[in-house]
């Protein structure tokens, strides 16, 4: 059976989709520290198709609920009575504004004479309706950006539905703006409008819960949460991007490793704080830190710089008399520190190999073991008399593991694991076996 026929993309994606989103700088969550959600470009003028596929899946999974709330809001629009100051040069148009009248005509002595008044009028121009229009416009913009990047093939089920949603969203926006005169200033942001709405809730000026629901659904969509991976539309999009499976496998292994280590350390998995992947890689930071009572575990993702400056790499090649270093690095680095110390006590290198491995066919496995030896050369100053490395692949022929040892160094060990991905029960058993070796290497009971 070919790998793509049994590779549990759906399960892996569901279990790590929030981490997958943070692999891209644009996937960072909304926070009070940013004026708006991040740009939809990974770099200036460089669009990432898989990221836009994620966005499309999230839109398709959440827009129906968003539309339901928006249409309920639009049908139930209520005007508000507000006081406004107006000025006429002919007569008072409402209640006399005495102070302004005296100041203008007897102190400033304006000409012609002015009649300032305070009038009461009806308006729909309120923060909660402005926020609704803002969200409508952002969703419409996102859809159009997706169409530009992924193409505009309305024969594909996903695009048919996306166009249908986009038209309904646009229609409600036009009603708010043209029929009811709702709009907001250009300098307004999502967060500034959201704060106004929350303030009005706290002061009981809003009792309708629709606006809170709309905020939650909008942010859920932007964070790629609640994506429906059972739908035909999802398969239409994701099946075209199996190239991301390698990265998905690595990110999923971060999630599962963190959760299993946390359980052994007495940490609730809901309390694990993940550093956005793009930030961890860019700033040379751990993806996750697990604090124990006497020690902590840090996990790095595709990061060598914390330990090995480029000039210290052991292998190189030359081109035009220029030395080019070969920086082989593992996917994941697990490090154990004593509490309060920055000196590593244990280091384990882990490579997630999205390959089909069986020990009846050793040639590809031997090549990967040799690569681990090259990686070890780059990190050799850190290991002293111990070296632990793990290669984690998969198959459907049962869990398999084999350990390789250095002939002259007892504590140099490379652990090759091939996890059974035939079904959920077998995969869970395989993960437990993987965790057993990982915890042994990290000296976690």
Question: DSSP letters along 108-150, please?
Answer: S--SS--EEEEEEEEE---HHHHHHHHHHHHHHHHHHHHHHHH
User: What's the pLDDT score for residue 195?
Assistant: 92
The terminus-to-terminus CA distance of the chain in angstroms comes to: 38
- Residue 366 exposed, middle or buried by CB count within 10 Å (0-12, 13-18, 19+): exposed
Q: Mean pLDDT per segment of 10 residues, for the chain of length 445 residues?
A: 70 82 57 42 58 83 94 86 70 70 72 76 82 94 86 76 93 91 87 91 89 92 78 68 79 96 91 85 88 92 69 71 74 91 89 90 84 77 80 92 88 92 92 95 90
User: Which residue from 58, 51, 65, 49 is spatially nearest to 223, judged by alpha carbons?
Assistant: 58
User: What's the pLDDT score for residue 309?
Assistant: 62
- Rounded Cα distance between 217 and 365, Å, is 46
User: What's the pLDDT score for residue 32?
Assistant: 40
Cβ proximity of 100 and 158 under 8 Å: no
Beta bridge partners of 324: 317
User: What's the pLDDT score for residue 360?
Assistant: 87
User: Which residue from 264, 332, 275 is spatially nearest to 304, judged by alpha carbons?
Assistant: 332
- Rounded Cα distance between 249 and 256, Å, is 10
User: What's the pLDDT score for residue 96?
Assistant: 72
The CB density around residue 435, as the number of other CB atoms within 10 Å, is: 18
User: What's the pLDDT score for residue 352?
Assistant: 93
User: What's the pLDDT score for residue 380?
Assistant: 73
Give the side-chain half-sphere CA count within 13 A for 218: 25
Q: Is the dihedral of CA 83, 206, 137, 219 positive or negative?
A: positive
User: What's the pLDDT score for residue 308?
Assistant: 64
Do strands 332-338 and 344-356 pair parallel, antiparallel, or not at all (unpaired)? antiparallel
Structure tokens at 438: 């990982």
User: What's the pLDDT score for residue 47?
Assistant: 63
Structure tokens at 128: 């909660």
Give the position of tokens 């009461």. 120
């Amino acid at each position: 059976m070919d790998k793509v026929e049994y590779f549990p993309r759906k399960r892996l994606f569901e279990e790590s989709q929030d981490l997958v989103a943070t692999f891209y700088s644009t996937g960072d969550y909304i926070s009070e520290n940013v004026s708006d959600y991040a740009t939809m470009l990974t770099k200036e003028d460089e669009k990432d198709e898989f990221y836009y596929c994620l966005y499309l899946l999230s839109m398709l999974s959440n827009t129906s609920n968003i539309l339901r709330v928006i249409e309920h809001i639009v049908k139930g629009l209520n005007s508000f009575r507000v006081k406004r100051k107006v000025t006429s040069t002919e007569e008072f148009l409402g209640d006399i504004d005495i102070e302004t009248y005296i100041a203008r005509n007897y102190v400033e002595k304006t000409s012609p004479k002015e009649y300032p008044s305070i009038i009461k009028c009806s308006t729909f121009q309120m923060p909660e309706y402005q926020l609704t229009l803002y969200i409508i416009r952002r969703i419409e913009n996102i859809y159009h950006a997706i169409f530009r990047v992924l193409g505009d093939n309305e024969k594909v089920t996903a695009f048919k539905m996306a166009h249908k949603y986009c038209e309904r969203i646009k229609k409600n926006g036009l009603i708010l703006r043209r029929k009811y005169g709702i709009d907001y200033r250009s300098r307004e942001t999502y967060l500034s409008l959201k704060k106004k709405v929350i303030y009005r809730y706290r002061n009981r000026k809003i009792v309708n819960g629709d606006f809170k629901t709309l905020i939650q659904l909008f942010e859920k969509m932007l964070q790629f949460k609640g994506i429906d991976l059972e739908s035909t539309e999802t398969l239409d999009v994701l099946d075209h991007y199996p190239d991301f499976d390698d990265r998905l496998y690595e990110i999923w292994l971060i999630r599962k490793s963190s959760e299993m280590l946390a359980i052994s350390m007495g940490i609730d998995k809901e309390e694990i704080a993940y550093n956005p992947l793009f930030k961890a890689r860019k700033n040379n930071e751990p993806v996750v830190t697990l604090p124990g009572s006497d020690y902590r575990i840090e996990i790095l993702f595709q990061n060598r710089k914390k330990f090995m400056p480029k000039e210290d790499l052991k292998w190189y090649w030359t081109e035009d008399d220029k030395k080019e270093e070969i920086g082989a690095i593992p996917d994941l680095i697990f490090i154990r520190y004593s509490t309060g110390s920055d000196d590593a006590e244990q280091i384990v290198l882990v490579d997630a190999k999205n390959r089909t491995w069986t020990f009846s066919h050793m040639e590809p496995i031997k090549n990967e073991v040799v690569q681990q030896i090259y990686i070890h050369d780059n990190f050799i100053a850190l290991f002293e008399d111990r070296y632990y490395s793990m290669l984690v692949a998969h198959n459907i022929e049962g869990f398999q593991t084999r350990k390789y040892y250095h002939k002259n160094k007892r504590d140099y060990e490379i652990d090759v694991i091939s996890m059974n991905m035939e079904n959920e029960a077998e995969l869970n058993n395989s993960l437990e076996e993987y965790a057993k070796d990982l915890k042994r290497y990290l000296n976690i009971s």
